Amino acid sequence: MTSTSPETTGSAVLYDGASAARHRVIVTIRADRLSLAPSDERAAGPDCPLSWPWSGVHTLDPRSDGHVFSTDRAPDARLIVADAAIATAIQAWATGDSPAGHGPGFWTRHRRAVIAIGATAMAFLLITLLIKPITEGVAALLPEDAGAAVADQAIQTLAEEHRICTGDDGLIALRSLTNRLAGAAGLAPPVLTVLDLGMANAGALPGRRIVVMRGLIDDAESAAEISAVLAHELAHVVHRDPLAGWIRGDVINLLTSAIFGASAVGDAGQAVTALLLDASYTREQEARADATAIDMLRRTGLTADGGARFFQRLAKQEAVPATLRPVVRLLTTHPGSAERADRFAAAATGVESGLTEAEWAAVRAVCG
């Protein structure tokens, strides 16, 4: 629910850039800044500033589940706002187009513009929903290495700010593990890169590119966790999810250009970089990838316990009061981490971690 008061409030999802956890927050539009506060004060809070001065707030390319904003105070953080009215207000304040305080008469002065933006948003959402099944079908027809060049461009873009890790022994161990898992799924050997980036995450890009971030290795408690995460990302490659996402992003950018002008469109490398840093898959895609990952682990004799422990930790960061869990489950498009932890814990797989103690030590030191 929104109002025309100086302090308009609404709900959003925050990725703090330090971990892959989703934080549900309340956003408040103030005259000098955008304020964020955890929806549940009992849950672990996000690890980034919650006060975003307007001068440092930026609008990024929209996603299927909402508008995306960032702040200079935490460049890796992403705020996802599904409410079109709240998103429009944030955009206005961030660009300096909003009258101070949104005082009386705002609706009268901007009624036509708000209606036009709302109609455009509705049309955009409808087109986006239709694009998803079409782009998935197109991706399935393309070769495995489709999009490799643009993925490499995206990795180089990230490497301009976050160096590529070059520890030979660690890279050999990780690539051997990745190839072992890929072979079990019938994939050609992927191209794996480790970036010196603090986010506890990994990502799959078009062209069988896999990127592992240092933060994931630092946070992992065992080699088995890395094996499970790699299997999950390779599963997205098996199902062509990164390629479909890239194609979908290009189509959406073309539509954005047609509606708002060519300046709204970034190049392909920027689109794929956003896919890596801000990847979002549906509940069905994530469940499908988990099932395929577990099958890979089973075929290679590796344990799924690492996946269970990894998602159990994420679940603690995403804690939701018991009374709200059924509602959250209905509203979210992503499976909860607790649900995914149970899925891996129940899997009957092998017992190996995927790396020897010496290999695991080398992986831990891969970034120096």
Tell me the per-residue pLDDT of 62-100, one tens digit each, with 9 for 90 and over: 888 889 999 999 999 999 999 999 999 999 888 876 555
| CA nearest to 344, candidates 295, 301, 284 | 295
| CA nearest to 88, candidates 29, 35, 23, 5 | 29
Task: Categorise residue 3: left if φ over 0, alpha if ψ from -120 to 50, beta otherwise.
Answer: beta
| CA nearest to 11, candidates 63, 79, 92, 91 | 79
Angle at Cα 149 formed by Cα 148 and Cα 151, nearest 5°? 65
How far apart CA 296 and CA 187 sit, in angstroms, is: 11
Q: Which of 186-195, 289-298, 334-343 has the lowest mean pLDDT?
A: 334-343
- Check residue 302 and report its DSSP letter: B
Q: What is the pLDDT of residue 183?
A: 96
- The ranges of the chain annotated as CATH 2.30.29.30 are 8-103
Query: Which residues, including other chains, have CB under 8 Å from residue 258's CB and lie 6 or more apart?
Result: none
How far apart CA 158 and CA 197 sit, in angstroms, is: 9
pLDDT digits 0-9 by tens, 6-60? 578 899 999 999 888 899 999 999 988 999 999 988 878 899 999 999 989 999 9
Pairing state between β 209-213 and 191-195 = parallel
Q: What is the pLDDT of residue 133?
A: 75
pLDDT digits 0-9 by tens, 132-185? 777 777 777 778 888 888 889 889 998 998 999 999 999 999 999 999 999 999
pLDDT digits 0-9 by tens, 185-243? 999 999 999 999 998 889 999 999 999 999 999 999 999 999 999 999 999 999 988 88
| CA nearest to 133, candidates 307, 251, 39 | 251
Mean pLDDT of the chain: 82
Furthest-apart CA pair in the chain: how many Å? 69
CB 206 within 8 A of CB 243: yes
Residue 363 Cα distances to 162, 165, 293, angstroms: 18, 10, 21
Q: Which CATH number does 8-103 carry?
A: 2.30.29.30
Angle at Cα 18 formed by Cα 233 and Cα 96, nearest 5°? 110
Question: Could you tell me the sign of the dihedral formed by the alpha carbons of 267, 270, 276, 282, in that order?
Answer: negative
